[in-house]
Amino acid sequence: MKYSIFTDDQKQAARFAKAMGHPVRMYVLELLNKQSCCYSGDLTDILPIAKSTLSQHLKELKDAGLIQGEIEGPKVKYCINRENWQQAQQLFQNFLNY
C-alpha cells in the first residue's frame, strides 16, 4: 500500500488522457466509437504510418483499457472496451463540469 496525494480517479483520468494524447490514437478511438469495430488492416490503409507503428499505438490503447482486440483468423478485430469507456465518460464529465 503506497500513499499518494492523488486520488485513484485522478490517476485513472490521467492514464486515459495520456492514451488519448496523440492524433493517431484519437483518430482510432473516434473511428471505433462511431463504427462498431474494425480490423487493424483497415486502419493501416487509412493512416499514413507504418503497420508496426500502428500496432504500437493500438497496444497503448489496449494497455490503457480503452480498446480490446479479438483474434479472428489471421486478423485482429478491435473494438472499444465499453466498460472502461463508460468509466472514462464518467471521469471526464465529472472533471470538466465542476
Partner DNA sequence: TTTATTGTTCGTTATTTTGCGAACAAAGAT
Partner DNA sequence: ATCTTTGTTCGCAAAATAACGAACAATAAA
Distances (CA, A) of 10 to 6, 88, 96, 97: 6, 11, 12, 15
Given a copy of itself, DNA, none, residue 92, with its beta carbon under 5 to 8 Å by kind, binds a copy of itself
- Indicate which single residue of 10, 35, 56, 89 sits in contact with DNA (rule: CB under 7 A): 56
Least Å distance, CB 29 to a copy of itself, is: 8
Q: Cell numbers at residue 40, please?
A: 487493424
The single-letter code of the amino acid at 97 is: N
Q: Which residues bind DNA (CB under 7 A)?
A: 18, 21-22, 24, 39-41, 44, 48-60, 69, 71, 73-76
